[in-house]
Structure 1
Amino acid sequence: MHAVILAGGKGVRLRPYTTALPKPLVPIGDQHAILEIVLRQLAAAGFTSCTVAIGHLGHIIRAYVGDGSQWGLRIDYAAEDNPLGTMGPLLPMLGRLPEHFLVMNGDILTDLDYGDVLHRHAASGAPLTVATYARKVAIDFGVLTTESGRIVSFAEKPNLDYRVSMGVYGLSRATLAGYTPGLPLGFDELVLDLLGAQTPPHAYEFSGYWLDIGRPDDYDRANAEFTTHRGVLLKGA
């Protein structure tokens, strides 16, 4: 069981915390970096090896993580000189990846069972499996629907329900075989290509704890909630 952790971004939205630290290494609670929590979870879920895709401040991640032996993992690295999007960093390393593998962002806190995502992806035959989460978006305005200059419906401050990507994917090597290494490839482009080819991705629906640490507010919330969720996040780790 192999995972690829995407840890090459600059974390611009999380500044000033990421001015001197790569985002996956910002501390949560009083002991752990986000990336350490993720690595502990992967090891507990049965993963034995991991590739960390690095870019911005990647040398700091290398120094912190090392070869992964402290967590019982074999860790190697893939460096990108220029931003390649979510899926682009996978293309140059494709030859050394197993047939099915997990891909995930290195800056999320969740009690998702990573092993189950990978197992269900491999069993599904789907080209891509996306872990999804239900989100409600509150609209602070009265929303109008118009046709030919007339208002035909109205809703006062509605809540919109969406399923969003959690930043965790089950992926198969063959899915990326037709793309060119070294060129950017985003998650959005890949999904649209699969839909256009009538080979839709599968959804892995999840309803547990999930927090994407993208902004200072998210980071503050993660630290405020970590003590409460520590047992769940580090269960078995």
Structure 2
Amino acid sequence: MHAVILAGGKGTRLRPYTTCVPKPLVPIGDTYSILEIVLYQLRAHGFTSVTLAVGHMGHLIRAFVGDGSRYGLQVDYTDEETPLGTIGPVLNVLDTLPEHFLVMNGDVLTNLNYGTFLQRHIQSDRPVTVATYNREIKSEFGVLDIDETGSQIVAFREKPTVHFQVSMGIYAVTRQTLRGYTPGQVLGFDTLMLDLLAARQFPGSDLFGGYWLDIGRPEDYDMANREWEEMSAILLPHLTLSAAD
């Protein structure tokens, strides 16, 4: 099983933590970097090879991860000279990938079983499967529904809570789905989704109810560090057991 990890962003929202190191190498709990956690998890879930899509400070990621042997993985690289979006980097290495593979952001902490997720995608026969998560937003205001004239209130809800599903930044992809795109072009996840919906090739949703934290902002990073002592045994149970032995 193969995974493509997107590790080329500048991490501007996470500054000042990313001033000197790329976001995937930011340490969690003074123990492992985010990227290391992901690599150890992938190996534990049955993956044998990884492509790292690097760009900003990519030389540091190359020097840190190397060929991946210390994680039990075979790691290669693809470079983004200019940002190509979420899916764009995958197009440049598409011919080297297996028919079904994982694409994921390099700044995600979760105890999702990546191997099981990919296998469910293969069995579903979907073009793409998105790992999804339940979120809710509670309005700070009373919400008014206005009629077509714009002058009459027809319903009122006091500070309602809106429930929805969001992408976890983890996708299972079938290679044939991307064959119509050109290597080197900019292709975001949003464009891919809209193209598939327009073609009535509906992507799948795989709802996850475990732990998930997207480390995009300083407050997210601070939370990850506060929770690390508790979450390390959940995120890396195989390493925790080895240390105990």
Bucket of the pairwise TM-score, normalised by the shorter protein: over 0.9
CA offsets 1:127-180 (integer angstroms, 9 cap, x no match): 000000000112111111111211111112111101000000000110000001
The equivalent of 2:243 in structure 1 is none
Unaligned runs of 5+ in 1: none
Equivalence for 1:215: 217
Q: Take 1:138 and 1:226, find their aligned partners in 2: how far apart are those partners?
A: 27
Corresponding residue of 2:167: 165
Q: 1:226 aligns with which of 225, 228, 245?
A: 228
1:213 and 1:122 map into 2 onto residues whose CA distance is 28
Aligned residue in 2 for 1:132: 132
Partner of residue 9, structure 1: 9
1:61 matched residue in structure 2: 61
Find the counterpart in structure 1 of residue 200 from structure 2: 198
Structure 2 counterpart of 1:174: 176
State the alpha-carbon separation in 2 of the partners of residues 37 and 126 from structure 1.
28
Pairwise CA RMSD of aligned residues? 0.7
Counterpart code for 1:38: V
**What whole-Å deviation, never above 9, does each CA across 1:162-221 have from its counterpart, x for those lacking one?**
100000000011000000111100001001111111110011110000000000111111
Structure 1 CA distance, aligned partners of 2:197 and 2:186? 19
Aligned equivalent of 2:190, options 174, 188, 191: 188
TM-aligned CA deviation for residue 66 of structure 1 = 0.6
Measure, in 2, the Cα distance between the counterparts of 1:216 and 1:144. 34
SS at 1:236's partner residue? helix
Give per-residue Cα distances to partners, 1:55-109, cap 9 Å, x unaligned.
0000000011111100100000000100000000000100100000001000010
Q: Which residue pairs with 2:96 in the alignment?
A: 96
TM-score by length of structure 2 reads 0.95
SS at match of 1:145: strand
What is the percentage of aligned positions where both structures have the same residue?
62
CA distance in 1, matches of 2:34, 2:60: 14
Q: Counterparts of 1:140 and 1:154 in 2: how far apart (Å)?
A: 14
Runs of 4 or more consecutive aligned structure 1 residues displaced over 6 Å after TM superposition: none
Note the residue ranges of structure 2 that are not aligned, 5 or more in a row.
Answer: 240-245
Question: Aligned partners of 1:232, 1:217: CA distance in 2, in Å?
Answer: 21
Deviation at 1:236, TM superposition (A): 2.3
User: What is the total number of aligned residue pairs between the two structures?
Assistant: 237
